[in-house]
Amino acid sequence: MKKRVLVGVSGGVDSAVTIYLLQKAGYEVVGLYLKMHREVPHEENIAKIEKIATLFNFEYHIEDISETFEKKVFNYFIESYKNGLTPNPCAVCNKEIKFGEFLPFLEKYGADYLATGHYVKTDGEFLYKAKDRVKDQSYFMFGIKKEVLKKTIFPLGDYKKEEIKELAKEIGLEEFASARESQDICFIPTNYIDVLSSHFNTNLKGKVINSRREVIGVHKGYMHYTIGQRKGFTLFKSHKPQYVIGIDSEKNSLIVGDKQQLEKRVIFLKQVNLFIDKKEFDCEIKVRYRTDAIKGKVKIEKGSKAVLFLDKPAVGVAKGQGAVFYQGDKLLGGGWIRGAKR
């Protein structure tokens, strides 16, 4: 009897090819489209899924979890910026929605496994970086519960994106292969400031201060900035390049300094999730998605907290981002940055 796989479908090329690869491997496929956010063009997406379902002859279902998504992901995103943090909604969505709220639907639709079009690998015990290092999504999956991995399949982990597009053309999915890439954050149709502006006045001018608490300029509203940014604010007189090194949301102030002040060697984490059972270990650490990993040591503390000691300084460490631990390609875990020091 064929094993039954519940596939998260979006109407995009990745989930479409995921279905093809699973069927080719001998699985019975059932699609599931989650309505997560009201700003997403659901009817357009469902029309695309209908085309894929007709081509590959599989059933699919639609579930509306928009209230849960708003509470667990969207509101988190909004509140993070309000509090001067740099959020990572994709990591939260993976933990809470795609590998959280998705799970009860396995039983509802009689599936043995769940599958998605993420670019990542798993052996049922650990996650690993994908073959496509540019598209690799393992960084955003550090918060997933380890027990979920036993029920999860990622068919795209051994492919590069261009290979997926070429395969799509070969199997009758030309229009999907040539479609425009989706946004990194599904509920942001233009830019994040437009989303925030519908909830707050993001253009409240404020002070730019240095590390000595001297006012040296003005900015257009603290939500426009993130740690490491060096443009978009006005200084009263000529200075050597100044970078945002802190955000005071309560006082609507930016703290700026030179590039050296951005460098951090010690990072403090909360809500740490591990796939290994160790209290202290050496590894490579990524403090942002598009940065290289840095070798360092992780020391786990009580209350799901940790302290990271980096072999060399990281630049642009932002509260609210994820710090993720690797051993080569293997994902060991990660946590949320709550502070850092030099």
Active-site residues: which are they? 93, 186
Residues 181, 182, 183, 184, CA torsion sign = negative
Angstrom distance (rounded) from CA 98 to CA 96: 7
Q: What is the helix (H) or strand (E) element at residue 121, kind and residue range?
A: strand 121-122
Using an 8 Å Cβ cutoff, are 122 and 151 in contact?
A: no
Residue pair 206/252 in contact (Cβ under 8 Å)? The answer is yes
DSSP E strand stretches across 195-329: 206-209, 215-219, 234-235, 243-248, 253-257, 263-274, 280-286, 294-301, 305-315, 322-327
86-119 residues labelled b (16+ CB within 10 A) or e (exposed): bbbbbbbbbbbbbbbbbbebbeebebebbbbbbb
Query: What span, in angstroms and rounded, lies between the C-alpha atoms of 223 and 96?
Result: 25
Tokens of 56: 């590959």
List the one residue out of 177, 182, 239 whose CA is nearest residue 208.
239
Are 322 and 334 within 8 A, CB to CB? yes
Nearest-CA neighbor of 16 among 40, 47, 48? Answer: 48
For the packed helices 161-170 and 13-24, what is the interaxial angle rounded to 10 degrees?
A: 70
Residues 6+ apart with CB under 8 A from 253: 206, 207, 208, 209, 222, 247
3-state secondary structure of 179: coil
For the four alpha carbons of 127, 132, 134 and 135, in that order, the dihedral sign comes to negative
Closest of 122, 155, 161 to residue 141, by C-alpha: 122
